[in-house]
A and B are shown apart, each in its own frame.
Chain A
């Protein structure tokens, strides 16, 4: 029983980086805030490196067994750090030289720390800490970067977040009262003996709280509103990074509760189905690209929940979830970065003929959206293939069928967006002045799209790294 703080180096890097940015930023003149951005990027790189090095070592626990440093945590840390790094790329265009620049970076880093804690924890109390640390800075980010509509988005996010946080704590209280334990290992032993109805209520409360962070049904309503209302930096972050921690946390939690009661796997499958259907159907007639992406992320959470339904039944479940998370993070950031590079186009019709004005961006958008559909050889395809295989392997062949049907549903609205991009130039688009756009966001889109393609074609190294060890 020891602290072993060295095991938490990535979290420490990220959090300290946030503090340095917050304090240092106040002393930097407005036109030298890029230094804060560089410091934030360095902290994230450091965190990712430390996390990757830790993955090479043996799996172990820290802080008296409340925090697992295993493959899942390592992967979540690396993905979260690198995804936030890409978000910084998107942010560089939008909020550079704005009054709240370094504050936003600091909040991004704090929230990322929370996400990492969320992913690694194996104790319900630390889970609450992670939840709050990931949520509270997020409210700030949503409110800071969106202007007037951002305030509304922040309000909605905050109210949903507060409600979900209370439910989470209620659930933890219930489970603690029933079993006298908050530690997952003990819960695994105690839960089967506890009254089923009360356990069910507690588990559902905890799951609801985590689903809020993940942005999955039934607590997903804030996602499209926030994605549309707030700035693109916040939208990219909130639809990408918190999901990483939340889904790994859901996986760990479901692995704990389903050990004695496999009904929870069916519940996970139903939740996955609900998110997939809800997100896909609601995305159908959206006209605002960011709102459309917001709904698409709800659907993606559904796909990401699919391997959770195979916890403990398929060896593929955990690596496929982690792989899909990495693939999703890259692809989603790429799509948002394209909208960041074209900030004045807030309607799908404005993308008509984009290929003739900005061929690079059009291609990045194509890769990102085809990726989100799950077209090979992008990374999400490998993710979808393996998660679906895991579900079938785990005995839910009907869930595999639903994944395929939902992929088909999703094609339609992505096609509504990228189809016109490659249309013949019209009079209007031919005469539209080529706006400068934002080079940082465009570069981020290019990098993320290329990476999502490369990760699909060269999937093996990552897959091998993820498939080596089970949960701790």
Chain B
């Protein structure tokens, strides 16, 4: 089942790429169809999901790959990965619908995005370090071609920077994985076996170094301060769908790596470094918020809010490593908040980037100063953008609130000092309100007159993303019921 979900898009991608006679419309609809089928498959998965218990996986599949080096094709989902799998399927379907009318090289674009979808899902279901790495690395290659091939502005340069920077991250990650392999006895790359064995537990120095390598690798991808510098140019110059996938899905690979690999396999080192991680999280929250506040380019602003939002996740996960008294419950809440934030940020930011893409197709600029009073000619656009902005700044009733509330409730209970990051929420609120005011209110001026409102495919791509955010905000139990047992299990693993 999981293999089907991962390899169906890859197989269709190969077919689409190999059949030159495929027309533009056929390619576009093939993409939508496959993404829709994927979403249905993930729905079936969700319906049949039962919590597998601590250090277990549901829908597990394992086939020997290179037994000689202790690596197997091992996949499975649990409460930490299933929500991300679902979010990935949703974001890719939204992109497929959004791109239905895009004119530029549709066949290649379809093949590339289906490829990206397959490898992204592969990362989230991998239960073997090498399988994880294979998909992780391929996602970078795929995104490089999306930015370089369909981007605008200084796309080639941004794509190069993205590739080099994130490749550095993936190599650091690989180094860490090799370290885990060498330290484990018997040697293995299997995540579940490594979690059970906790190698390097009695060697704090080596454990710290291996964790450092893995942290750097994941921090580049997440990205956290100070490894975030590739993100703004990559987002600014990427096409709308590319930005949506990059922010919505690819960034989650970093944060997901923390909960899947770093925390359960190296619990002792994680606890030892917890304060450093908390500080990095706080700095990312505040720095991302302040820099976003200073932007005049809308897309760049959204990109920096990603740094801010990822910072909350790092903060929460760091706090989980601070073992103090009877706080297991609070730490579990923090993990749940972090996972909800991954899902919520994926949905909301994908919507924001798709909306920013609409601005570019209509008026050719992301500069907020070039617009004014846009709500009059484009009320639907304004409404959706406002909902997305409010969701992003954490308004109750939308998913961002559920996430950030749990993150802070959990973190502050464990370490009150994490309250320093609270102003991040305020600044984010300010910057989104400021952006809404600059672009949508006041007299209709600049690029705004004649700005056509959202139509069918744009509405149908952005709308469902925000509807899901609303759903999570109103009925969080649908999501929390899946995540909470896994969070509690993770907290136990870190507390070992």
Contact = CB atoms under 8 A, between A and B. Distances in A.
A376 to B, nearest CB: 4
A463 B172 contact: no
Contact of B163 (A319, A386, A415): A415
B149 interface: yes
Nearest to A395: B182
B178 A385 contact: yes
A274 B178 CA distance: 23
A384 to B, nearest CB: 9
B14 to A, nearest CB: 11
Given A385-B174, A385-B178, A408-B171, A419 B137 contact: no
A359 to B, nearest CB: 8
A467 interface: yes
Interface stretch (A54-62, A89-97, A396-404): A396-404
A339 interface: no
Interface string B169-180: 001101100110
A381 B65 CA distance: 14
Nearest to B134: A376
A211 interface: no
A221 interface: no
B141 A375 contact: yes
B141 A460 contact: no
A389 B175 CA distance: 9
A316 interface: yes
Nearest to A407: B171
A376 B138 contact: yes
B181 interface: yes
A460 B64 contact: yes
B488 interface: no
Nearest to A416: B160
Contact of A319 (B68, B159, B167): B68
B168 A408 contact: yes
A12 B208 CA distance: 55
Interface in B153-168: 156, 159-160, 163-164, 167-168
Contacts of A319: 68
Contact of A419 (B69, B156, B171): B156
Size band of the A side of the interface?
20 to 34
A463 B134 CA distance: 18
A423 interface: yes
Nearest to B159: A419
Interface in A365-394: 370, 375-377, 381-382, 385-386, 388-389, 392-393
Given A376-B137, A424-B149, A404 B175 contact: yes
A316 B189 CA distance: 15
Nearest to A464: B68
Contacts of A400: 175, 178
Contacts of A393: 182
Contacts of B16: none
A389 B178 contact: yes
A422 B145 contact: yes
A63 interface: no
A395 to B, nearest CB: 10
Contacts of A423: 148-149, 156
B138 A375 contact: yes
Task: Please report whether the interface of chain B is mostly helix, strand, loop or mixed according to DSSP.
Answer: helix
Given A370-B141, A392-B178, A408 B164 contact: yes
A316 B69 contact: yes
A389 B149 CA distance: 35
Contacts of B160: 415, 419
B66 A463 contact: yes
A317 to B, nearest CB: 13
Interface in A405-420: 405, 407-408, 411-412, 415, 419
Interface string A434-470: 0000000000000000000000000110011001000
Contacts of B174: 385, 388, 404
A459 B66 contact: yes
Contacts of A401: 175
Contacts of B179: 392, 397
Nearest to B175: A404
Contacts of A377: 134, 138
A467 B70 CA distance: 13
Contacts of A405: 171
B133 interface: yes
Size band of the B side of the interface?
20 to 34
B229 to A, nearest CB: 16
Contacts of B175: 388, 400-401, 404
A463 B66 CA distance: 7
Nearest to B169: A408
B164 A385 contact: no
B358 to A, nearest CB: 23
B130 interface: yes
A467 B149 contact: no
A385 B129 CA distance: 12
B90 to A, nearest CB: 27
B364 interface: no
Contacts of A415: 160, 163-164
Contacts of B67: 460, 464
Nearest to B163: A415
A460 B145 CA distance: 30
A464 B178 CA distance: 20
B187 to A, nearest CB: 8
B181 A389 contact: yes
Contact of A459 (B65, B145, B168): B65
B415 to A, nearest CB: 33
A273 B163 CA distance: 24
A375 B66 contact: no
Contacts of B168: 408
Contact of A382 (B20, B66, B182): B66
B194 to A, nearest CB: 15
A321 to B, nearest CB: 14
Contacts of A407: 171
A370 B171 CA distance: 14
A300 to B, nearest CB: 17
A422 B149 contact: yes
Interface centre among B67, B68, B133 (most CB of A within 10 A): B68
A400 B175 CA distance: 7
B220 to A, nearest CB: 12
B24 to A, nearest CB: 16
Interface string B422-466: 000000000000000000000000000000000000000000000
Contacts of A467: 68
A400 B213 CA distance: 12
Contacts of B163: 411, 415
A412 B164 contact: yes
B171 A389 contact: no
Contacts of A392: 178-179, 182
A108 B172 CA distance: 41
A364 to B, nearest CB: 13
Contacts of B69: 316, 385-386, 389, 463
A471 B126 CA distance: 36
Interface of B: 20, 64-69, 130, 133-134, 137-138, 141, 145, 148-149, 156, 159-160, 163-164, 167-168, 171-172, 174-175, 178-179, 181-182
Interface of A: 316, 319, 359, 370, 375-377, 381-382, 385-386, 388-389, 392-393, 397, 400-401, 404-405, 407-408, 411-412, 415, 419, 422-424, 459-460, 463-464, 467
Given A385-B174, A422-B148, 9 more contacts: A388-B175, A389-B178, A393-B182, A404-B171, A411-B164, A419-B156, A460-B65, A460-B68, A463-B69
A-B pairs with lowest CB-CB distance, top 6: A376-B134, A404-B171, A463-B68, A467-B68, A392-B182, A459-B66
22 contacts: A359-B20, A370-B141, A376-B130, A377-B134, A377-B138, A385-B69, A385-B130, A392-B182, A397-B179, A404-B174, A408-B167, A411-B163, A412-B164, A415-B163, A415-B164, A419-B148, A419-B159, A423-B148, A460-B68, A463-B69, A464-B68, A467-B68
